[in-house]
Amino acid sequence: MNQTCYALQSRNWQPFWLATAFADLVESLVHAAHGSVFDTITTRTLETARVIAGSNQLMDLFEKTVNPLYLRALVACEQSNVLTALRDALLPKLISGELRIEAAERKIAAVA
């Protein structure tokens, strides 16, 4: 990564469609990258990208359909982070004998 960083924002409030469309374009954008020292994706590279879009009605339906899926994925990531932190905090204490299983179960129940 260098100092050039781009953020994409949907003009039509269709962020999930935009993310999905560009995820599909990543490989072609990487192949179109160019540069003298290292390959880079420029605004010109992005201008040459082509995306086939459906009607606004179809893309709105797509947004409504995938929105719960993206939100569920976000919740799952957050839960995974909490469980990872809990594991990292408890495991060394369990291994050392500083914490007993019963006490660990009480701590887990308090967080869950």
Task: Return the minimum-mean-pLDDT range out of 1-10, 50-59, 100-109.
Answer: 1-10
| Model confidence pLDDT, tens digit, residues 30-45 | 776 666 556 677 677 7
Q: Does pTM surpass 0.85? A: no
> How do residues 56-103 score in pLDDT, each as one tens digit?
899 899 999 999 999 999 999 999 999 999 899 989 988 998 888 888
Which residues, in sequence order, are CB contacts of 41 under 8 Å at separation 6+?
4, 6, 29, 30, 32, 33
**Tell me, what's the pLDDT at 1?**
46
Radius of gyration for the chain, computed over Cα atoms and rounded to the nearest angstrom = 22
CA–CA separation, 109 and 107 (whole Å): 5
pLDDT above 50: residue 11: yes
